[in-house]
């Protein structure tokens, strides 16, 4: 739902809801839904999305915090196409945050 939003504020709300929901599900429920990841494997993407929302909103501290959380959980992902996609996304957001920091200075 977050990606379907035109407004970054609404995107953030949906991403926050997804993070709360992830805290409530089990690996069994995730498997029943046909998701080929454990619950732990959901967190890197969730935090990556939250990082990008906060970056777009100019809240660079929160953006960095969610990027740090994505980095802390990325080992739950394999070295498959999806894991590589998330890792590339993390590197891109890190670059954007670095660029934003240079502009602020």
pLDDT tens digits along 28-69: 999 999 999 999 999 999 999 999 999 999 999 999 999 999
Question: Out of 1-10, 13-22, 54-63, 94-103, which region has the weakest mean confidence (pLDDT)?
Answer: 1-10
Structural domain total, the chain: 1
Asked if residue 90 lies in contact with residue 48, where contact means CB atoms within 8 angstroms, the answer is yes
> What confidence score (pLDDT) does residue 53 get?
96
Question: Out of 3-7, 63-67, 77-81, which region has the weakest mean confidence (pLDDT)?
Answer: 3-7
Q: Domain residues for 52? A: 2-104
The contacts of residue 86 (CB under 8 Å, 6+ apart) are 44, 45, 48, 70, 74, 77
């Amino acid at each position: 739902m977050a990606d379907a939003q035109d407004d970054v504020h609404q995107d953030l709300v949906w991403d926050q809801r997804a993070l709360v929901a992830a805290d409530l599900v089990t690996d069994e429920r995730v498997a029943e839904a046909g998701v080929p990841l454990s619950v732990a494997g959901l967190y890197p993407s969730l935090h990556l999305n939250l990082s990008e929302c906060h970056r777009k909103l100019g809240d660079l501290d929160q953006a960095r915090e969610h990027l740090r959380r994505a980095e802390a959980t990325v080992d739950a992902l394999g070295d498959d196409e999806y894991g590589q996609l998330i890792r590339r996304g993390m590197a891109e957001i890190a670059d954007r945050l670095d660029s934003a920091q240079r502009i602020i200075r």
